[in-house]
């Protein structure tokens, strides 16, 4: 790829910036530095919004249903809750919203199905939440995925995406875990923190809006115990899913 082409691709993402969720983040600016400017996504008529990821995004969706804006196709989690608000709030914009998250997925799994489950849909807004399984499988199933592999594979995925969809608006969800709840033991730390840091670095590198879910779940425990938001420490309860959806909506102008 030529230098000019690479420069064009990186500059063509709209929505570079940070999240300043007043309720969930306590008005804190979550950023990487002064040069990382605050911005939110402006939706256009006919936008195609895709939620992509693992079980936290999947949540029992009908994987044979490829329809846009269909309850069964959107699952029962934050993607459905965010989609319902989007469709209600922006009824005149003719949005098309999809969910292709699959339970248990890691970045290598996304790579294998990316052409069909992402690029073929041609999203104009792409929201990705991936990473908890990339680490978790090293704990419970002996997977050998390193944090370096997680980061490089994620980078390759986004580079391919920008080559095919240079104007896509990216939202990167930080993988999260509620420490001391369910599966989340001391064995996760400090190694899991490096996967989270990699997701944050990727968001910065690709000028994506970052959803700092770890900070959001940490702050939520000031009002209710961790299990109230994620019963097993990873998968959100109904309250946790609504909190995630609200944070996601805070990315939209």
Buried b (16+ CB within 10 A) or exposed e, 222-245: eeeebbebbeebbbbeeebbbbbb
Cα–Cα distances (Å) from 39 to 7, 93, 169, 251, in that order, read: 20, 21, 12, 8
Does residue 55 have an active-site annotation?
A: yes
Q: CA-to-CA distance for 4 and 143, rounded, in angstroms?
A: 39
Which listed residue (62, 70, 218, 232) is catalytic?
232
Classify residue 27 as exposed, middle or buried by CB count within 10 Å of its CB (0-12, 13-18, 19+): exposed
Q: CA-to-CA distance for 22 and 252, rounded, in angstroms?
A: 13
Does residue 62 have an active-site annotation?
A: no
**Strand order across the 125-129 sheet:** 96-99, 48-53, 125-129, 169-173, 209-211
3-class DSSP state for residue 173?
A: strand
Which listed residue (47, 55, 117, 198) is catalytic?
55
- Tally of CB atoms within 10 A around 81: 21
Does residue 235 have an active-site annotation?
A: yes
3-class DSSP state for residue 236?
A: strand
- Tally of CB atoms within 10 A around 117: 20
Q: CA-to-CA distance for 82 and 86, rounded, in angstroms?
A: 6
- Tally of CB atoms within 10 A around 69: 16
Which listed residue (58, 117, 235, 250) is catalytic?
235
By annotation, the residues acting in catalysis are: 55, 232, 235
């Amino acid at each position: 790829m030529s230098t000019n082409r690479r420069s064009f691709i990186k500059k063509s993402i709209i929505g570079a910036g940070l999240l300043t969720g007043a309720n969930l983040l306590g008005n804190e600016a979550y950023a990487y530095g002064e040069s990382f400017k605050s911005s939110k996504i402006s939706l256009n008529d006919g936008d195609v919004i895709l939620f992509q990821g693992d079980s936290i995004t999947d949540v029992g969706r009908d994987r044979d249903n490829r329809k846009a804006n269909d309850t069964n196709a959107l699952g029962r989690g934050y993607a459905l809750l965010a989609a319902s608000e989007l469709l209600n709030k922006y009824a005149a914009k003719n949005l098309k919203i999809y969910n292709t998250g699959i339970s248990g997925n890691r970045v290598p799994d996304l790579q294998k199905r990316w052409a069909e489950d992402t690029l073929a849909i041609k999203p104009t807004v792409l929201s990705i939440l991936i990473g908890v399984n990339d680490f978790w499988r090293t704990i419970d199933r002996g997977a050998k995925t390193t944090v370096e592999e997680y980061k490089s594979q994620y980078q390759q995925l986004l580079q391919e995406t920008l080559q095919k969809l240079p104007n896509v608006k990216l939202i990167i969800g930080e993988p999260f875990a509620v420490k001391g709840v369910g599966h989340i033991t001391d064995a996760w730390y400090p190694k899991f923190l490096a996967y989270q840091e990699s997701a944050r670095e990727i968001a910065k590198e690709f000028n994506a809006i970052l959803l700092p879910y770890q900070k959001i779940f940490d702050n939520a425990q000031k009002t209710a115990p961790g299990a109230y938001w994620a019963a097993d420490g990873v998968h959100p309860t109904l309250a946790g899913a609504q909190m995630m959806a609200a944070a996601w909506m805070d990315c939209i102008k």
